[in-house]
Amino acid sequence: MHNILVVGGAGYIGSHMVKYLGNKDCSITVLDNLSSGHRDAVLAGKLIVGDLANIGFLDKIFSDNKFDVVMHFASSIIVSESVKDPSSYYRNNVSNTLNLLDVMVSHGVKQFIFSSTAAIFGIPLYTPIDEKHPKAPINPYGRSKLMVEQILEDYDHAYGLKSVCLRYFNAAGAVPEGEIGELHDPETHLIPLVLQAASGKRSDITVFGSDYDTQDGTCIRDYIHVNDLCDAHWKAIQYLIKHNQSQSFNLGNGRGFSVQQVIDVCREITGKVIRVIEAGRREGDPDVLVADSTKAREILGWAPEFSDLETIVNHAWQWENNYQRKKLG
């Protein structure tokens, strides 16, 4: 049995990971300050409410428990917000992670799974993007994640702390059962925004740019189902336990879908009218962002199960409907 601490396990990806681990032979402890996570999204294990900024609190958790692996999902993730308030992003994403790593080292816990991002690469020089692509983040969010990856390299060399960094492209979807899903406030991800326009939660969806060098003029992104991300994390745990070596992997479908394709599929799945407002490009948005996940496939034996856009949208729509019904009582 693995004894696993899931930091940020009440958030979007973290809560899906906790549900996934609940179906494995694991003892699960969730640590979350609930600033953006949701208590009722934690479907397995025990929840401890607290903050990584409190080193004494962290030390007590590690004194009271014997963890084999720590999974770290807790971070601030809104790019535009990181530009306006970089201090909070470096404090939460870097300084608080340092607190966690230092307590791990002091208690002899030396296996760590880190939730990273494609934002560490910045504007792509080529696509699909593999692990050898230059790392040149263009915003504090991406820089904060790259800083942690660099810190992990140093902690491996100095303290023997082994880690796997998993760089997501666009996490999307929800568990097929519809129990939990994407619930950010504010919501910034395309698929839930389009589905909220379909459900009437918002009046329209804004498309930023229709003059990209793509087939339909809208930018292309790589959407990876959240359950497939969970499977990659589970395989990363097995890799760490078996090989005790640090690694990093890019996680994506390896195929891109345009903003217009997403809207079209959402219209098809929901059968709803979705009003679109066109606006200019956002600064720093590249034409195409697609992952090369060959390394994860070859080393981890990982392959996406829900790779088609229709399934990803369908699962997200089930969650959106369930959530709206739940709110209405």
Q: Three-state SS for 314? A: helix
Beta strands (DSSP E) in 19-100 are: 26-32, 46-49, 69-72
Q: Three-state SS for 310? A: helix
Q: Give the contacts of 170 (CB within 8 A, at least 6 positions apart).
A: 189, 190, 221, 222, 223, 224, 252, 289
For residue 294, which of 249, 255, 237 has the smallest C-alpha distance?
A: 249
Q: Residue 90 gets which letter from DSSP?
A: I
Query: Which strands make up the sheet holding 220-221, listed edge to edge?
Result: 257-258, 220-221, 288-289
Structural tokens at position 155 = 């902690």
Q: Is 141 a catalytic residue?
A: yes
Beta strands (DSSP E) in the chain are: 2-7, 26-32, 46-49, 69-72, 111-117, 162-168, 170-172, 205-208, 220-221, 223-225, 247-251, 257-258, 276-279, 288-289
Catalytic residue of the set 20, 90, 141, 239:
141
The amino acid at 285: D
Burial class (CB in 10 A: 0-12, 13-18, 19+), 263: buried
Structural tokens at position 322 = 């369930």
Distance CA 125, CA 140 (A): 20
* Residues labelled as active-site residues: 141
